[in-house]
Structure 1
Amino acid sequence: MPMAISFSKRELEKKKQSKKLEKQKRKEERKANAGNGSFEDMIAYVDENGLITDTPPDMNNKQEINIEDIAVSTLKKEETEETVLRGRVEYFNEDRGFGFIKDVNSTEKYFFYITSVQNPIVEGNMVTFELERGRKGMNAVRIALAS
């Protein structure tokens, strides 16, 4: 004996069919309009200020740059200033030997090992620390209680 289809089921099937037809129409419209754009309409240029524009740059305003005037260098490690940061111990697990310090000047949190701590600390202590690159990001090192 065939099962009767309820009114709500019929309505759902109608909605599904109409959505399918609308999707097919949109797909056909996209295909029809795809050939209208030319290659020149798709080209973008970057002006002297680094902004993207649709007009090509004016080659008459071109400035000559002497290659010797360009300085490319990085500071040596001795020249970089080691800055001492202030923070608060957000989390510290003494049994496992690690924790996190939140910098007071920013919202950054830094991981630290107990071997980097110079004085005994607990959660909530204000400390001073320096940063050093670790395997997974910046780590707090040379941690001392803030005075």
Structure 2
Amino acid sequence: MARAEIFNKRENEKKKQARRAEKQKRKEERKLSGKGNGLDDMIAYVDENGVITSTPPENIDKKIEINPEEIIISTPKKEEVPATILKGRVEHYNTAKGYGFIKDLGGTEKYFFHINSVLAEIAENDIVTFDLERGKKGMNAVNISPIDKSAD
């Protein structure tokens, strides 16, 4: 039994040395073949037109003056959009859970609202005014207040 283990260890060691020798041989072949000369093969140049080449540019002294004030780094500022008061009808309102949906009278959109966004008492089928605010899953109605029916 001990003899078989020694034999296996010797065989394994011979295999390891053969793999190391093969790896060293492949490394030497790569060096001689010229592939992978190192960093020089990896360098790329970009000319004034944005074309990538392997040759360095001829006219290095050709410089263009750039005014630093003309460089725009960020996105343009968002223009202020005047807030429009929207009108809608309360389609669904679950008072127990504290949420509902308002259908816009000017279109077919429905907007979710929460009881915290309601400024006065409302009920289903009431006509209300509201603003919109972006929520996690879309636009939400906020600042909801009923329209006085006596004012019409």
Taking structure 1 as the reference length, what is the TM-score of the superposition?
Answer: 0.48
Taking structure 2 as the reference length, what is the TM-score of the superposition?
Answer: 0.47
Greater Rg by CA: 2
